[in-house]
Amino acid sequence: MRCRRSVADPPDDPVVVEAMGEVAERLVELLDGAGYRRPATPMGISAYIIAFNEAEKIESAVNSVLWADEVVVADSGSTDGTAELATALGARVVQVPFSGFGRLRNDVLPHLSHEWIFSLDADERCTPEARDEILAIVADPASAPVWLTPRRNWFLGRWVRHSGWYPDYRQPQLFRRGAMRYREDLVHEGYELLQGAPLARMRCAIWQIPFRNIEQALHKANRYSTLGAQQAAASGRRGSLLKAMLHGSAAFVRHYFIKLGFLDGSAGFVIAMANFHGTFWRYVKLTEITARFAAPPQASRLARSESVQSPIVPASRG
**13-39 confidence digits (pLDDT tens):** 555 545 555 554 554 455 455 443 444
Q: Which residues pair with 73 in a beta bridge?
A: 49, 93
In angstroms, how far apart are the furthest CA atoms of the chain? Answer: 106
Q: Is there a contact between 159 and 127 (Cβ–Cβ < 8 Å)?
A: no
The DSSP code sequence of 210-248 is --SSHHHHHHHHHHHHHHHHHHHHHTT----HHHHHHHH
User: Which pLDDT does position 107 carry in this prediction?
Assistant: 98
The span from the CA of 117 to the CA of 195, in Å, is: 17
Residue ranges of domains in the chain: 14-208, 214-291
Q: What percent of the chain has pLDDT over 90?
A: 76
Q: What is the pTM for the complete model shown?
A: 0.81
Quote the Cα angle for 48-46-165, to 5°.
50
User: Which pLDDT does position 25 carry in this prediction?
Assistant: 52
The span from the CA of 314 to the CA of 303, in Å, is: 19
In terms of Cα–Cα distance, which of 4, 89, 1, 100 is closest to 50?
100
Give the SS3 label for residue 261.
Answer: helix
First to last CA, the chain: 102
Give the helix/strand (H/E) hosting 99.
none
Q: What is the pLDDT of residues 221-279, one digit of tens each?
A: 999 999 999 999 999 999 999 999 999 999 999 999 999 999 999 999 999 999 999 99
The superfamily CATH assigns to domain 14-208 is Spore Coat Polysaccharide Biosynthesis Protein SpsA; Chain A (3.90.550.10)
User: Which pLDDT does position 39 carry in this prediction?
Assistant: 47
CB atoms within 10 A of CB 213: 9
Q: What is the pLDDT of residues 52-74, one digit of tens each?
A: 999 999 999 999 999 999 999 99
- Considering just the CA atoms, what is the radius of gyration of the chain in Å? 25
Q: Is the pLDDT of residue 308 over 60?
A: no
